[in-house]
Amino acid sequence: MGTNLAFSVFLAAAVLIFLVFAYVGRSTREARDVDYEAAGRARKLFFYGLSAILLLFLALTLPRMPYPAEAGAPDRVVHVTGKQYAFALSPTPITSLESWEEGTYPTTVEVNAGSTVEFRVTSLDVNHGFSLYAPDGELLAQTQAMPGYVNRLRQRLDKPGTYTVLCLEYCGFGHHRMRGVVEVR
């Protein structure tokens, strides 16, 4: 769904809601007798109608979930560790500041096209935002890199090219330097 279409649907829904509120506001200015049976039928009709609309939206959007359908093991696991002002993309976890200081960790990793990659994302100091951008600049996926916790993010990378990893959580003056690269061959 394009951005313009989504905005148009939102705008139409907002106008409809406003019109309903305006109608109810105008219709309740004067006292009148209420037919409680008719009101009960109208409430039931509204409830079932709204439930049907919500189920329809669920049925239309559920198949378009961005997650891989297969529940098996990923083709590749990449451990991503954030530390002001750098990302390390490694085949093994970096669990402490000492291990970070001891090793030189790459900011680039290579994966095969068509593979499902599980990014295990954490941080050694403060919250960082892990985002993965396709070669054309489209944001594919994002999650938080948090100290003491590992977020798992699976993404199928079908198109060959250079995918960029950026930090989306402002972490200080060197925030703009937090970059990584995933080369898909």
* SS3 assignment, position 169: coil
Longest distance between any two alpha carbons in the chain, whole Å: 81
CB 132 within 8 A of CB 178: no
What confidence tens digit (pLDDT) does each residue in 107-148 have? 889 999 999 999 999 999 999 999 999 999 999 999 999 999
Beta-bridge partners for 143: 130
Angle at 67 between CA 66 and CA 72, to 5 degrees: 160
Tokens of 115: 């593979």
Residues 16-43, mean pLDDT to the nearest whole number: 90
What confidence tens digit (pLDDT) does each residue in 156-185 have? 999 999 999 999 988 888 888 899 999 999
**More reliable by pLDDT, 102 or 7:** 7
β-strands 115-123, 151-157 pairing? antiparallel
d(CA 183, CA 33): 71
